[in-house]
Structure 1
Amino acid sequence: MTPALAASLAASLAGDIGVGGRGFVVLAVLCGAAAIFLLLYLVMSGRSVETDLETRLSAYSEQEEATGWLGRFRLLRRFAVSAERMAERRGFLAQIETALEQANLTLRPGEAMAGLLVLAVVAGLAALVLTGSPLSALLLAVAAVILAAYLVAAAASRQRRRFEEQLPDTLALLATSLRAGYSMLQALDTVAQEAADPTAREFQRVLNEIRLGRSVAESLQDSATRMDSVDFDWVVLAFTIQREVGGNLAEVLDTAGDTMLARTRLRREMRALTSEGRISALVLGSMPFLVAGFLLVTNPGYIAPLLESSLGVTALVIAGLLLILGLVWMARIVKPEI
């Protein structure tokens, strides 16, 4: 092979790599990260029976270190513990716990915050490799955290809505069980066995708390608070009054169930009537981000002055504030209180 032919082959190969080089770099980074994570998992998962026993017993001790998947990574475990302490000092630890419980995620608040950190780092590194812009990496990292928080909130809202929709049938089952001669604990156990999730899961937790020594009223009240259900809060109030002054609890539950069934029907009708407004809000709210993402991918130079100049950044901030104001306004219009 002559030197000229070798040089031409090398130049051709370099040109091919230059065309798809960025894609190859991204693929190599992702494959390397996956391989490192799998290796660490295989190495860390080889624990002895004594270590497994200590991990299980630590859940009942006063240790503050996080367990679960974070137990294999010391740095993330320390971050999770520090994040939980900071959240407790600032007073929003209970809100994070409630959101995770409502979304049916078996995570501690520290584990959730550590997961968000890992997600933000991975998204930022991917954006930095793809675009080479630190600003794009920062924006994508923030967007990944916001998206994860939104998904958790959406899952929690879906669980609460299902609980509310199942509540009339739950009260009917409770009333039928009481009329059949069951005690209140037996009626709760019937609901925990026969109902669908999330009702079955919540009533099973209520039963477990009662068996550990808590009163029925306190356990039911915690369930109503945890699911953020005003209707179920009324049921607990009616149950508490009945326990104090007496009366036919089955009849009270039937009346409450009929009222909640009528409210559920009205809520569904309002949701159907406002569906057009909700779709409009979704389209108008997502369109600026979709257009900006399309321009960043297809023609970055066209949108660069908007991101790099002070006037463009100011315009973006003002537009973002107006967009948030418009979305909040439309949300208040399409979500009437019933």
Structure 2
Amino acid sequence: MKNIRSLWNSCKKELTCWKSEKRNFLKGICISVFICWLFFNSAKMLIFMIPLAFPWMKYQRGKERKKQKEVLQRQLKEMMLSVSNSLSVGYSLEHALEIALEDLKILDEGKGGVLEKELELLIISMKVNEPVEKLLIKMAENINLEELTQFAQIVVIVRKNGGNLMEIIGKTVNHLNESMQLKEEIRTMTAAKQMEKNIMTVMPFFVLLYVRMTNPGYFSVLYETVLGKGISMAAVLFLMGASIWAERVVTIEI
């Protein structure tokens, strides 16, 4: 009973997330309709596609989070670089963060990214005499970015035990920059393979679509017999499995 209740709560939580992900949901529906029409020529098969909506939405959400993380890392690098430059000319950390906010606004072109909003809240709280190190820790918890957490911890340690904050932040910026450059190099090296993977994924669908449009009765045996429907289902599962496997092959995590 507990397992059923837990599963139901997970489903409700997942469905709640879909309200803000309508674009991905509609995209999934269109793909499902296309597959049911192309492989089964039956709208009834959409019923069997419903359970696939959950992994599909989680996969799309993971891709969105990965993109957001890359954007945040670039913005964080610029923020820390601005802070490092301000510290090098004698500004305090508090004033350096204010300058970094202005630089982020110029970089973001007024779009108001997550890091910019959190930094703005930090500065507002800082003006009412909240300790900057505690505010940075809170900011890192809200954003949940490893590099920002490390930066906040460094500030806490330096403020507590003493040390050259400018030098430490400079080294942190260099480390972050090297890491991002490595990721960019890997992304460039695997770009061609990603393109090949995308082409190989969609090619079977285009071939089947071409055959069906030019010779509508060619796939009748697949749509009208039990064996044909089984072969179509096996083909769909095989193509899905091959796409997932290919995605893992060309994805390199650092």
TM-score class, shorter-chain normalisation, is: 0.5 to 0.7
Q: Map of 1:32-181 to 2, 5 A cutoff?
A: 89-90=9-10, 93=13, 109=17, 111-112=19-20, 115=22, 119=26, 133-135=42-44, 154-181=63-90
Does 2:190 match 1:274? yes
Q: CA deviation at 1:258?
A: 0.7
141, 157, 169: which one aligns with 1:222: 141
Gaps of 5+ in 1: 1-85, 97-107
Q: 1:208 aligns with which of 100, 121, 139?
A: 121
Classify the secondary structure of the residue corresponding to 2:253.
coil
- The residue that corresponds to 1:23 in the other structure is none
User: Could you list the per-position Cα deviations for residues 100-148 of structure 1 after superposition, in whole angstroms to 9, with x for gaps in the alignment?
Assistant: xxxxxxxx836326x479948x969x98xx9994247668999999988
Aligned length: 234
2:194 matches 1:286:
no
Q: What CA deviation, in whole Å up to 9, does each residue of 1:174-218 have, x standing for no partner? A: 112233444444333322221223885413224326646794133
What's the offset of the Cα at 1:293? Answer: 3.8
SS at match of 2:163: coil
> Among 94, 97, 102, which residue is 1:188 paired with?
97
User: Partner residue of 1:250?
Assistant: 166
Give the secondary structure class of the aligned counterpart of 2:228.
helix
Radius of gyration: which is bigger?
A: 1
Task: Please give the TM-score of this superposition, normalised by the length of structure 2.
Answer: 0.67
Unaligned stretches of 5+ residues in structure 2: 1-5
Distance 1:91 1:217 in 2: 35
The amino acid that maps onto 1:89 is: N
Deviation for aligned residue 1:255: 0.4
1:145/1:308 CA distance change after superposition, 3 Å: farther
How big is the shift at 1:152? Answer: 5.8
Change (3 A) 1:309 1:191: farther
Q: Give the Cα separation in 1 of the matches to 2:245 and 2:42.
A: 34
Which residue in 1 is equivalent to 2:219?
A: 303
SS in 2 for 1:302: coil
| Displacement of 1:173 | 0.6
The sequence identity of aligned pairs, in percent, is 21
Residue by residue, what CA displacement relative to the aligned partner does 1:76-121 show, whole Å, maximum 9, x if unpaired? xxxxxxxxxx99932884x89xxxxxxxxxxx836326x479948x
Aligned AA for 2:97? L
Residue 252 (structure 2) aligns with:
336
Question: Aligned partners of 2:250 and 2:18: how far apart in 1?
Answer: 35
Matches of 1:308 and 1:189, distance apart in 2: 69
The whole-number CA distance in structure 2 between the counterparts of 1:189 and 1:88 is 46
**1:261 aligned to which of 154, 170, 177:** 177
Which letter does structure 1 place at the counterpart of 2:102? Answer: Q
